[in-house]
Amino acid sequence: MIVVMKQNVNEDRQNQLIDWLKGMGLGVHVSSGEYQTVLGLIGDTSKVDMDLIASLDIVESVKRVTETFKCCNRKFHPEDTVVSVGDVKIGGGNFAMIAGPCSVESEDQIVGIAKAVKAAGAVLLRGGAFKPRTSPYDFQGLKATGLELLKIARAETGLPIVTEIMSIADLPLFDDVDVLQVGARNMQNFDLLRELGRTNKPILLKRGLANTLKELLMSAEYIMASGNEQVILCERGIRTFSDYTRNTLDVSAVPMLHELSHLPVIVDPSHATGIARLVPPMAMAATAAGADGLIIEVHNDPMHALCDGAQSLKPDEFEKLAAKVNQLRGIL
């Protein structure tokens, strides 16, 4: 249920209403916008007397929210959420270019790529240290050492780091990581999501291989209901009967998620296509669809990459793409 307050209401009276609602065992999410304050009620609202609340002179209107996702629902929070990572902002008109290799392989590799993507306009550095691989015989990532190498690359370039966490048990290792990525395969690892909701770090939540938008939003809800509202949604392609690409990029997810939720939405054209030459056109399509950012795999030597070389751009290709994306954003 949402309660839309009248403009410029007396704060004490608003707080009295909030306390009264909390006294009924409800959670109250307060969204104070520039023009309007909206109270989002979470919990069993079946016994709440809507007419009574609507009759209060400080209340503009009361509506039931039928969707099962509440905290991430735009009805609860009409204005875009802006996620901050140091000085970098994502959402609400702020566009973030995130780039880096699929996996951290060595100090030279990650530092070199970090410098190249920064020069091309990336504002965050990606790189996997813990890798969710389909085969247990494939490179599994440098793990804790990979995280240390990412921190070296951050120290060298100033770029905040984004990296995937696969297990709650590893959480202490991620203390000094800027953005925690939940990969497609873990989108419905509810224990992990709940635990990440207890941290104060931005979470980049990727859509699962075969998950609906509602399921993605419910996963964001797990994080937010545990107290962490800094969630970035990521469309990274889904399984369809497409036979020539790794996945199918659901471009329409961008405007649809923006309609349903106030959270920023970014797109990963690398995992969506699996083919480097398809990354630029899909990155442009995602930008045109209103994405709040892109996360792109870049490797200095894709032919010898330990993971996802086929979909990795070379630094000069990334530089060209970043310039085109900027141009496109200029005319949107």
Q: How far is the CB of 176 from ligand PEP (least distance, A)?
A: 20
Residues 148, 111 contacting (CB under 8 angstroms): no
Beta carbon nearer to ligand PEP, 184 or 213 = 184
- Residue 183 contact, options ligand PEP, Mn ion, none, Cβ 5-8 Å cut-off depending on partner type: ligand PEP
Q: What is the DSSP letter of 312?
A: P
Per-residue 3-state assignment (H helix, E strand, C coil) for 107-135: HHHHHHHHHHHHHHCCCEEECECCCCCCC
Q: Of 27, 132, 255, 281, which lies in the binding site for ligand PEP, with binding defined by CB under 6 A?
A: 132
The first and second tokens of residue 236, run together, are: 């990274």
Q: Which residue is nearest to ligand PEP (CB)?
A: 183
Choose one: 80-88, 182-190, 217-225, 257-265; the region binding ligand PEP (CB under 6 A).
Answer: 182-190
Beta carbon nearer to ligand PEP, 5 or 180 = 180
Q: How far is the CB of 330 from ligand PEP (least distance, A)?
A: 28
The first and second tokens of residue 162, run together, are: 């984004």
Q: Which residues of 294-303 are buried (b: 16+ CB within 10 A; e: fewer)?
A: bbbbbbbebe
Which residues make up the interface to Mn ion (CB under 5 A)? 102, 308
Beta carbon nearer to Mn ion, 224 or 296 = 296
Beta carbon nearer to ligand PEP, 13 or 239 = 239
Report if residue 184 touches ligand PEP, rule: CB under 6 A.
yes
Q: Positive or negative, the Cα torsion across 297, 85, 249, 92? A: negative
Report if residue 29 touches ligand PEP, rule: CB under 6 A.
no
Report if residue 206 touches ligand PEP, rule: CB under 6 A.
yes
CA dist., res. 285 & res. 291, Å (int): 9
Q: Positive or negative, the Cα torsion across 217, 220, 224, 230? A: negative
Q: How large is the angle between the packed helices 253-260 and 213-225, nearest 10 degrees?
A: 40
Interaction mask 87-116, ligand PEP, x per CB under 6 A = ---------------x--------------
Q: Of 183, 202, 293, 302, which lies in the binding site for ligand PEP, with binding defined by CB under 6 A?
A: 183
Report if residue 40 touches ligand PEP, rule: CB under 6 A.
no
The first and second tokens of residue 159, run together, are: 């770029």
Beta carbon nearer to ligand PEP, 5 or 124 = 124
- Residue 206 contact, options ligand PEP, Mn ion, none, Cβ 5-8 Å cut-off depending on partner type: ligand PEP
Alpha helices in the chain (DSSP H): 11-23, 50-54, 107-120, 144-157, 190-196, 213-225, 253-260, 269-273, 279-288, 315-331
Q: Which residue is nearest to Mn ion (CB)?
A: 102
Rule CB under 6 A: which residues touch ligand PEP? 102, 128, 132, 183-185, 206, 236, 268, 271
